[in-house]
Amino acid sequence: MNAATLIDFRDGATTEVSAPAADRLMAGTPQTAVTNRYSDDSGQFFAGDWSSSTGKWRVEYAEHEFCHLLEGRVVLTGDDGRAWHFGAGDAWVIPAGFKGTWETVEPARKRYAIFEAARR
C-alpha cells in the first residue's frame, strides 16, 4: 500500500498548449495552456493551472469546476444572457450543465479543481 503524497503546485509538470475548437471560436485567436497537476485514480477529479490569451469561445460544462483567477479578467455569459465579470483574486464555481461563452478580456491565469461524475 502506498502512502498518500501531497501534490505541490510549485513542482514542475507538463503543460499542454491548445486553442478552442474552430466551431466554438467567436472572437480573437486565443491560446490556452493547461498544466494538470493532479488526477485521482477514478479519473473524476483534477486540479491544476490554466491560462489564456484574449478571445471568446462557446463553452458547455459536463464537469463541476472551481476557479480561482490569479491574473487577468474574464467574462462568462450564460445562454440566458446573464454575465459574470471576474478579476484577479476572484473565485467561483461553474456547475455541470452551464452553457454559454467564456471571454478572456485580459490575459488570464487561474487555478482549477474539477469534478466530473462517472457516466452511467
- The pLDDT assigned to 4 comes to 77
Q: Could you tell me the CA-to-CA distances from 14 to 38, 49, 63, 89, 92 in Å, in that order? A: 11, 11, 22, 25, 25
**Confidence band, pLDDT 50/70/90 cuts, at residue 2:** low
Does residue 3 carry a pLDDT above 70?
no
Residue-number span of the structural domain to which 40 is assigned? 16-115
- pLDDT tens profile 10-53: 988 899 999 999 999 999 999 999 999 999 999 999 999 999 99
Is 74 a residue whose pLDDT tops 70? yes
**How many domains does the chain fold into?**
1
User: Are 75 and 59 in contact, with CB atoms under 8 Å apart?
Assistant: no
**Which pLDDT score is estimated for 11?**
86
CA pair distance 103, 42, nearest whole angstrom: 31
Q: What is the DSSP letter of 3?
A: P
The CA R_g of the chain, rounded to the nearest whole Å, is 15
Any bridge partners for residue 49, and if so which? 35, 111
CATH of the domain at 106: 2.60.120.10
Secondary structure percentages of the chain, helix, strand, coil, to 5: 0, 60, 40
76 assigned to some structural domain:
yes
Kindly state whether residue 5 falls inside one of the protein's structural domains: no
Q: Is 24 a domain residue?
A: yes
Check: CB of residue 33 under 8 Å from CB of residue 15.
Answer: yes
45-72 mean pLDDT: 98
**CB contact at 8 A, 98 and 78:** yes
